[in-house]
Amino acid sequence: MAAHPRFFPGQGPQPLAALLAAAEAQAEGDAERRFSGVAALAEAGPDEIAYLETAKHREALSATRAGAVVLREGEAALLPPGCLGIISAMPALAFARIAAVFHPSPRGMGQRHAAAAIDPSAQIDPSADIGPFAVIGAAAEIGAGCIIHAHAVVGPGVVLGENCTIHPHASISNAICGRGVVLHAGARVGNEGFGFTPTPQGRFVTMPQLGAVLLGDEVEVGANACIDRGALEDTVVGRATRIDNLAQLGHNVRLGQGCVVVAQVGISGSAVLGDWVQVAGQVGIAGHLHIGDRARIGAQSGVIRDVEPGADMLGSPALPVRVKMREIATVQRLAAAGLKTMSKKDN
């Protein structure tokens, strides 16, 4: 299926030459041939572009009606007659870049709704959009091309770099953001961290949460995800890191660049993740741990010890994948042997 025209109108048709330049890909065909948009391999029509990412879709490739398909060089021979091959070593990446030509990310155009509440001391670039019932606090700084959607809250002193997008009902406080940061609907950034100390009488006194949140360029925070500000240090999320819906980062957490944190992950306070770390869904990471560069944590794992760079971890408590799989196999063998023994006794 192609992009839904009601919600995602395309900027087409586009000439092949422009699409190849954006994708950094190659094709032998009329450079002025025009395409109207992108679509799935099985649904694309003669004026649309699809892509082939994995071998399991090769059957769909031979039957496609797409005008062009982005694929690897060795797969071009499988194209049906009349279908143009756009050759790339990374088809998904090339296709994403082509799709962005037809559907570029929105940029602010200087629209400011009369129902927005904007403090007079806020510094807002003239090109930024401010939606209805959005709130912009005192001394906030909003860069060029930003879009602040309806009911979003940008707290006092917050800094948003160029082309940031704050979606409806998201809130951000005590934070400094780079360029292209995106907070999806309902995200909460900069709230007070979960830090307190007990009194002799059995009550609790909140520890001062006086740090900030620093979001690097192109960080994206999913819907209803939460990132607490630091206590006496800052919470830091490195450039281009992606945080999925419903994730939680505690105070003083530090993530390197290019990390991927999937839905329902919880990272406890002061944990440090290196660059390019991948954390799958529902993982829990204990506080004050260090996860090395390019480590990968499998879904539903519980991490209670430091993780070496490049390690693949699984289980709760998390162990190296090979160790965990041997453990599972051993338990299965023991269980099978126990069932056999029970069966003999019954007989």
Catalytic (active-site) positions: 251
Cβ atoms of 305 and 288 within 8 Å: the answer is no
Strand pairing class (254-255; 235-237) = parallel
Measure the CA–CA gap between 208 and 120, rounded to whole angstroms: 29
Task: Give 297's contacts (C-beta < 8 A, 6+ positions apart).
Answer: 277, 278, 279, 280, 283, 285, 291, 303, 307, 313, 314, 318
- Amino acid identity of 100? A
* CA–CA dist 61, 75 (Å, integer): 9
Give every CB contact of residue 52 below 8 A, 6+ residues apart in sequence.
Answer: 41, 58, 61, 69, 70, 71, 72, 75, 91
Alpha carbon dihedral 50, 53, 58, 63, in 10-degree steps, equals -10
Q: H or E stretch including 62?
A: helix 58-63
User: Is residue 249 within 8 Å of 267, Cβ to Cβ?
Assistant: yes
For residue 81, whether the previous peptide bond is cis, meaning omega lies within 30 degrees of 0, is no
